Amino acid sequence: MTPTLSTSALVLHTTEYSESSVIAKLFTRQLGVRSYIIKGVRKSGSRTKQNLLQPLSHLDLVVYNNPKNQINYIKEIGPHLAHTPQSDNLFPASYMAIHNALRFFMTEVLYKTLREEEPMPELFDYVADSSQPGEESAQLAQRPIQFLLRVSRHLGIEPLDNYSIREPLFDIQAGRFQYSGEHTLDTTTSQLLHYHLQAAHHGSPLPMSTLTQRTELINRLLEYYQLHLAEFHNFKSHEILHTILQ
């Protein structure tokens, strides 16, 4: 008999399978990224509602865990006890529009970067916490940058924060600050990155910045991901995010 395992999970992607089921790619706390067949979820009257499978929905699962299978089945599924979709109704629509755009952004970053069977419980807890509404609007606008930096740390490609007067420009190819170079960011963007790295590592206050400055840094960090991760390409959700944040 195939053993079962209890774990919490975050939804990364779903694909229709057969007439009424889906294959869900999930970031689980216990097992890393895994794929599961969820039977009958698309049937009318199914006990498992499809709104449970929105991007970054936080679930509690009991799964069949056969390491020899690339795709396993889910035995039990439900919303995580600390969050239900109805709790989103407590926040203004304008706030939730930004929050949901951020969830799509975070989901696409994780979907394109996390590999199979690599448990990352610290990253899981961070994502699960930051994907829930409740953060102040000012901090919400800063989250994409902090999120990209936090994920880069877990992927082993975090920018080196060696910023100084002698080396003030960040080179996205070298992954560090330099005096000059073909792939360096401008002075303002480099300094903003340095302050965000300080906040990520030392709990320093998040830096003051304009929407234009944050947009530029997000775009350049995505270029940084593309340079350092071969599988990271055709990224789209930042365009929607930029539009909603305007």
The full set of domains in the chain, from first to last, is: 4-79 (2.40.50.140), 86-245 (1.20.1440)
Q: CA torsion, points 212, 213, 214, 218, in degrees to nearest 10?
A: 100
CB atoms within 10 A of CB 241: 20
Residues 6+ apart with CB under 8 A from 31: 5, 7, 65, 117, 119
- Using 70 as the pLDDT threshold, list the residues of the chain that sit under it: 1, 45-49, 82-89, 137
Dmax over Cα atoms in the chain, in whole Å?
65
pLDDT of residue 40: 79
pLDDT of residue 30: 93
User: Percent of the chain scored above 70 by pLDDT?
Assistant: 92
Give 48-103 pLDDT, tens digit per residue.
667 788 899 999 999 998 888 889 999 999 888 765 555 566 778 888 888 888 99
